[in-house]
Structure 1
Amino acid sequence: MSDSIPLELLPGSSKIFQDFLIENTCDCSNVISKISERIYNRSLLTKLINFSIGEENLSDLQKNNLILLQESNTFAVVTGQQAGFLGGSLYTLFKAVDTIRISNELSNKYPDFKFVPIFWIEDNDDDLKESSVSCIYDSGNVPKYVNLNFDENLCVSGKKVVNEDLELIQSLKDDFKKYQFGQQISEIIDEVFEIGKSWSECFQNLYQKILGQYGLLFISASELMKSGIFQNLVLSELINTGYSQIAVDKRNKELEADGYHIQAQVSDINLFYHIGDKRFRIDIENENFRINNELIDKNSLIKIANENPENFCPKVLLRPIFQDAVLPTVVYVAGPGEIAYHKQTDYLYNLFNVIKPCLVMRTSATIIDKKAARYLSKIELKPSYFLKSFSIIEKELADNLLGAEHNEVFSEFQEKFLNLYSDLEKYLLSIDNQLDKTVNGALVRINEQINQLDKKAHSAAKRTNEELLQKYQYLSNLIFPAGKLQERTISPLVFLAQSDELITQLLNNKAENKHHIFIEI
């Protein structure tokens, strides 16, 4: 399908993202050279990845990539995402596949080095509201949001599958039956979601079944935190109180001076403190810190960080710093929002002496199924036409069905009527100029009635063309579900249930990632 649109024209595209698309010219060879001079705890990384996936579940390519990762001439192509219900939104799959594709491309481009794809599962996040919602299509192809119950204070890693979750998940399998590979997806769902299993483990297991065979490695932020690998970074943030805030504030001022909106907020201390499965802010109060309404002096908190570094995790702006301090990251595959807040971190990377990787925009795409492709061919429209509110599409369809004559009739009538009414208004005001409010009010009511007649004509046109309207509704639900981009709304399982070639199509995508593309399955 040849249709595509520039990313900067997508709904919600920010100025900072638009300029990134124009200006981004990162040199991977320069990053490779810098990382080659650094030492990483590769043995611990491979141990944690092995633990996350489970040695018995490793594919041959994953085993090979783990061996490669222990070598100093191997680098990582990384992406990350919060652990989401039913695999999160579609763009999560795009990001994961992009790391595999780019790793292969870089291995061919730089034969003296090796590159492995790594997915960073961000499960220290406490946004369980976002993590516990997914969207699929019901039997009528209407977007269907599915929400699980959650504890607002829990980290994602602390969420466990309970019986209520499992009952809801089992009920969703009926919605996959209509698809060619729906049975296979239902079987994966059965294998992945088990009572007592952590949310991040379910997420990792799901993508392991989808992408493990392609060599993608998974690492959990919560497991890294427990390992103590972040200790030096945590101590630096606590000892050098306020330094990271100064670095970000300096960069923010530069960005604002260039007319950019600030994506993420910086704090005095850009860490969270974990108590069990819950996390809390660390606020500065005079010379002390306040955590969960309790005061603690600086030396005591530093002592805790020395003895129990696993109690701390980074806030949003420090997350990429922590990630790239422990992973030999040459490329990070990012979405528009990530690109925006990464722009705020330039001086943070310098402050913590961490090498900043090249940022690459993830694949941005809409999936077009076979039925939609037939409809589009029949009505001779491109899929990009449907990237707008269905109410607008309905009106435009009715206008087309009524034809130009309809608008001409109404326009001519309104012009004649307003001329006549103007004469009437002059006559009435000549009798009593205090009738102006009455005259204007009557005109408003008459115009409302004329507009109602216009709407009724549009409704009648749609009723007489109900079958065509249903096609438009189907296309709108697929391409712009609930008025949002498909990639930010629908679970990837919906499309994996319809095609066993989707991953291959994404791996073969050679787009320069400056356009939103449409992929027919």
Structure 2
Amino acid sequence: MDCTLVNYSSTGFFSKNLTDYLSNASKLNNFYTYQPKLESFKQIIADKSAENINRTVLVEVLKDQYDSIGNGPWDEAIEALLLPTTFTVTTGHQLCLGTGPLYFIYKIITTINLAKKVEQANPGNRIIPVYWMATEDHDFEEINHFNLFGKKVCWELEAKGATGRLSTESIEPLLQELKSILGESEQAKELATLFESAYIHEKNLADATRVFVNELFGKYGLLIIDADDTRLKKQFSPIIKQDIIDQHSYQLVNKTVEALEKIDNHIQVKSREINFFYLDDQLRERIVFENNCYRVLNTNIGFSKEELEKEIDQHPEKFSPNVIMRPLYQECILPNLAYIGGGAEVSYWMELKSTFSHYQLNFPMLVLRNSALIVDEASKKRLQQLSLETKNLFTETNKLIDIFVKQQSSNELNLDAEIQKFEKAFIQVAMKAQNIDPTLAGSVEAEKTKFFNSLKGLESKLAKAEKKKFEQQTSQIVKVKEKLFPNGSLQERVENFMPQYLKFGNGFIDMLADNFDPLDFRFIIFE
């Protein structure tokens, strides 16, 4: 499969915040610690080694979570985490049904490849890729579906509380729908079997996601962690207590946000006074401080300061970090060197550096995940027939049509040469008017503007008339763009991986693994 690399700034889909970060713009230097390059990892390893990570508890939890999966390469990887020379690189994501959009797959492949790259460059250290499951997230509507051949496959459920704890017993009808869409090929049967072994045989969404993702990526060395665990939360409980009572993250993030706004950076998330939810079965609600009481919204649950401290000590698992505090929880329990995320994630992590410093946690390297566009065979053939290069695909549709028409037309469609002649003529007219009556200068300029506007209108009519000669081809351009950029969005944000798996089987994931370079920050077009 051929690859074309395009700078992110040329795609029109990535923010200036992000492209400034990737180009090492000095205005952002205060908002991260390490430049995203391979040479930085030697220092990150030294810095992270100074932290006291409870590796024993981490390994104990992972062993319990992998107990039902059976033996595999993950066993050795888990044991390796006991060694002080072993570190992780991590990505996190919601428990998207069937992995959700393609970029879920891209995040994990980027993480796996980064681990390999860092390990090769740092002999004596083991680097393990980790997928942090966002099991405590409660936004079920964001994760309960995926798009397959233009159809939305959806799990209908009245869901409450943390999504990782949701029972999967009602998902059987979705499996039957999926089987009818996938068909009867060998790859289709593989996908149906995988979906069934994960979502039908496992009791909750967290376990189902672990099985599904492990089947796809376990052989590449990926470890999957569910941090909704009392033993892990216990490691984080001192910070939970401090931050709820003293509201450090609220104060620090707000100051950082003010600094980012001064340099015109778009703000991804805003901090609340308390950045934790109260978590229980069927419940994940915000904690607020009102009338000298810590109250759980939409419930009758409330605590005095002393009662809150006692509750955190006895039941740390009931305190769930929001988007502001989740990164700190991650870095508190993992020997982590880098976080791999999308553009929005990289931007919001930059809001957190001062909070990390306050709690004396090392701020990891921020790495943008790989992004890709897969051009199917029919679209590639059509582009070739139209004499358009794949790198032009990011051009806005009407402009792309203009490029095509200019390439194909034998007629000169612009009036640039004529406009230059008329410019000279108007200069002569203006000089004559100036000699006769200086007050006529304004009239000459007005006539000039009117005349050139008419010429521009005529130029547009010429182009429009010429386009009509190529209606069939321009219609094909529109169809290719709509197919490769569904709803005007990036393919990776809409489509699921299953259509590619039906074509190539696990070779699709191998192809990504062979071509993704996590530190080459360019968009990849696969043909």
- TM class by shorter-chain length? 0.7 to 0.9
**Match of residue 255 from structure 2:** 250
2:63 corresponds to which letter in structure 1? N
Indicate which of 26, 29, 43 corresponds to 2:42. Answer: 29
Q: Structure 1 stretches of 5 or more lacking a match?
A: 138-142, 410-450
Question: Which residue identity is paired with 2:489?
Answer: K
Amino acid paired to 1:256: E
Distance 2:212 2:202 in 1: 16
Indicate whether 1:75 and 2:84 are aligned: no
Residues 1:250 and 1:182: Cα distance change in structure 2 (over 3 Å): same
CA deviations over 1:146-193 (Å, ceiling 9, x no partner): 333243643211322243x32133212333338773332222222222
Residue pairs, 1:376-415, within 5 angstroms: 376-387=383-394, 392=398
Q: Does 1:338 align with 2:341?
A: no
Deviation at 1:289, TM superposition (A): 1.9
Change (3 A) 1:244 1:213: same
- State whether residues 109 and 516 of structure 2, in contact with CA within 8 Å, keep that contact through their aligned partners in structure 1: no
Instruction: Decide whether the 8 Å contact of 2:88 with 2:334 is kept in 1.
Output: yes
Contact 1:389 1:483 in 2 (8 A): no
The answer to whether the 8 Å contact 2:69/2:211 transfers is no
Q: Which moved more, 1:275-284 or 1:145-154?
A: 145-154
Cα offset for 1:394?
A: 9.4
Task: Give per-residue Cα distances to partners, 1:274-324, cap 9 Å, x unaligned.
Answer: 132321111121422221244432221121111111100111011111100
- Map of 1:348 onto structure 2: 355
CA contact (8 A) 2:386 2:404 kept: no
* Alpha-carbon distance between aligned partners in 2 of 1:277 and 1:152, rounded to the nearest angstrom: 8
Tell whether the 8 Å contact from 1:182 to 1:498 is kept in structure 2 after alignment: no
Instruction: Please name the residue that 2:525 is paired with.
Output: 518
TM-score, with normalisation over the residues of structure 1?
0.81
The reply to whether residue 40 of structure 1 matches residue 53 of structure 2 is yes
Q: Check if 1:6 corresponds to 2:7.
A: yes
Structure 1 distance, partners of 2:151, 2:396, is 17
**Helix, strand or coil: the match of 1:289?**
strand
Residue 474 of structure 1, CA deviation: 5.7
Bigger Cα displacement from structure 2, 110-119 vs 223-232: 223-232
Distance 2:383 2:71 in 1: 42
Amino acid at match of 1:52: Q
* 1:151-300 aligned within 5 A: 151=158, 153-163=160-170, 165-177=171-183, 181-194=187-200, 197-223=203-229, 228-239=234-245, 241-293=246-298, 294=300, 295-300=302-307
SS in 2 for 1:171: helix
Equivalent residue number for residue 108 of structure 1: 120
Match of 1:481 among 482, 486, 501: 486
Structure 1 distance, partners of 2:414, 2:340, is 52
How far does residue 205 in structure 1 lie from its aligned partner after superposition?
Answer: 1.3
Q: Distance in 2 between matches of 1:264 and 1:100?
A: 27
The alpha-carbon distance between structure 1 residues 55 and 149, as it changes in their structure 2 partners (threshold 3 A), is closer
Partner of 1:315: 322
Q: Within 1, Cα distance between the matches of 2:405 and 2:190? A: 44
Cα offset, 1:494, TM superposition: 2.3
Identity %: 22
Change (3 A) 1:196 1:363: closer
State the partner residue of 2:66: 53
**How far 1:244 sits from its partner (Å)?**
1.4
Q: Structure 1 34/147 Cα, relative in aligned 2: closer, same or farther at 3 Å?
A: same
Paired residues of 1:84 and 1:133 also in contact (CA < 8 A): yes
Q: Mean Cα displacement is larger for which, 331-340 or 505-514?
A: 505-514
Spell out, residue by residue over 1:36-90, the C-alpha distance to the aligned partner (whole angstroms, 9 max, x if none). 122222122122222333354342x212211211111100011110110111211
Cα–Cα, structure 1 residues 317 and 4, in superposed 2: closer, same or farther, change >3 Å?
A: same
Aligned residues: 467
Q: CA deviation at 1:485?
A: 0.4
Which residue does 2:454 correspond to in 1? none
Pick the aligned partner of 1:86 from 95, 98, 101: 98
Mapped to 2, the partners of 1:492 and 1:127 lie a distance apart of 22
Using the TM superposition, give the Cα deviation of residue 382 of structure 1 relative to its aligned residue in structure 2, in angstroms: 2.7
Pair 1:501–1:42, CA change in 2 (3 A) = same
CA distance in 1, matches of 2:92, 2:388: 36
* Change in CA separation of 1:224 and 1:486 when aligned onto 2, cut-off 3 Å: farther
The 2-side partners of 1:123 and 1:307 are apart by 21
Deviation at 1:119, TM superposition (A): 0.6
**Following the alignment from structure 2 to structure 1, what is the Cα–Cα distance between the partners of residues 148 and 242?**
44
CA deviation profile, 1:476-495 (whole Å, cap 9, x unmatched):
34421221101111112222
Does the CA contact (< 8 Å) of 1:365 and 1:519 recur in 2? yes
> In the TM superposition, what whole-angstrom CA distance separates every residue of 1:442-490 from its partner, at most 9, and x where no partner exists?
xxxxxxxxx99x999978964xx3xx67854663344212211011111
Q: TM-score under structure 2 normalisation?
A: 0.80
* Distance in 1 between residues matched to 2:269 and 2:338, nearest whole Å: 22
CA distance, structure 2, for counterparts of residue 144 and residue 406 of structure 1? 45
Q: Give how far 1:196 is off.
A: 6.9
> Is 1:358 paired with 2:365?
yes
Is the 1:89–1:134 contact (alpha carbons within 8 Å) kept by the matching residues of 2? yes
One-letter code aligned to 1:288:
C
Task: Give 2:431's aligned residue.
Answer: none
Sort the Cα spacing of 1:480 and 1:358 in 2 relative to 1 into closer, same or farther, 3 A.
Answer: same
Q: In structure 1, give the amino acid aligned to 2:326.
A: R
Distance 1:235 1:188, change over 3 A: same
1:344 positional shift: 0.2
Alpha-carbon separation, structure 1, partners of 2:407 and 2:48:
62
Q: In 1, Cα distance between the equivalents of 2:54 and 2:276?
A: 22
**Aligned partners of 1:245 and 1:267 also within 8 Å:** yes
Instruction: Tell me by how many angstroms 1:204 deviates.
Output: 1.8
